[in-house]
Amino acid sequence: MFEFGDLRFRPVEREDLKLLHEWENDFEVIMYSRGKPINFVSMGQLEKQYEEWMKDEKEIHLIIERVDLKEAIGIARIEKSDFGNVRNAEVGTYIGKKELWGKGSGKQITVALLEICFNQLNMERCEAWSVEYNHRAHKALEACGFKKGGAMRQVEFVNGRKWDGFHFDILRDEYLAIRMDLLKQVLGNRLEEYIKKHCTIAGH
Ligand SMILES: CC(C)(COP(=O)(O)OP(=O)(O)OC[C@H]1O[C@@H](n2cnc3c(N)ncnc32)[C@H](O)[C@@H]1OP(=O)(O)O)[C@@H](O)C(=O)NCCC(=O)NCCS
Q: Of 34, 30, 33, which Cα lies nearest the Cα of 136?
A: 33
- Radius of gyration over alpha carbons of the chain, in Å? 17
In this structure, which residue's CA is closest to atom 15 in ligand 1? 140
Query: For 108-120, how does the pLDDT look when each residue is reduced to its tens digit (9 = 90+)?
Result: 999 999 999 999 9
C-alpha of residue 106 to centroid of ligand 1, in Å: 6
Indicate if the pLDDT at residue 203 is higher than 90. Answer: no
Mean pLDDT of 15-33: 97
**What total number of domains does the chain contain?**
1
Cα-to-centroid distance, 84 and ligand 1 (Å): 32
Q: Domain for residue 203, yes or no?
A: no
DSSP letters for 104-140: SHHHHHHHHHHIIIIIIS--SEEEEEEETT-HHHHHH
Give the pLDDT score at 202.
77
Q: Is residue 149 part of a domain?
A: yes
Give the Å distance between the CA of 192 and the centre of ligand 1. 26
Residue 43 domain-assigned (yes or no):
yes
| Average pLDDT estimate for 169-176 | 98
The range of the structural domain enclosing residue 119 comes to 2-198
Task: Determine, yes or no, domain membership for 204.
Answer: no
Mean pLDDT of 180-200: 93
Identify the pLDDT of residue 128: 98
Confidence at residue 200, expressed as pLDDT on a 0 to 100 scale: 78
Give me ligand 1 centre to Cα 44, in Å: 31
CATH number at residue 133: 3.40.630.30
Q: Which helix (H) or strand (E) holds 31?
A: helix 27-33
Q: Give pLDDT, residue 201.
A: 82
pLDDT tops 80 at residue 204: no
Q: What is the pLDDT of residue 82?
A: 86
Residues 6+ apart with CB under 8 A from 179: 114, 118
Structural domain contains residue 28 = yes
User: pLDDT (tens digit, 9 = 90+) per residue, 118-166?
Assistant: 999 999 999 999 999 999 999 999 999 999 999 999 999 999 999 999 9
- For the question of whether the overall pTM of this predicted structure is more than 0.75, the answer is yes
Please indicate, yes or no, if residue 83 is contained in any of the structural domains. yes
Count CB atoms within 10 A of the CB of residue 201. Answer: 7
Kindly give the number of the ligand 1 atom that is closest to the alpha carbon of 130: 48
What single letter denotes the amino acid at residue 39? Answer: N
Ligand 1 and 134: CB distance under 6 A = yes
**Atom 46 (ligand 1) nearest CA:** 33
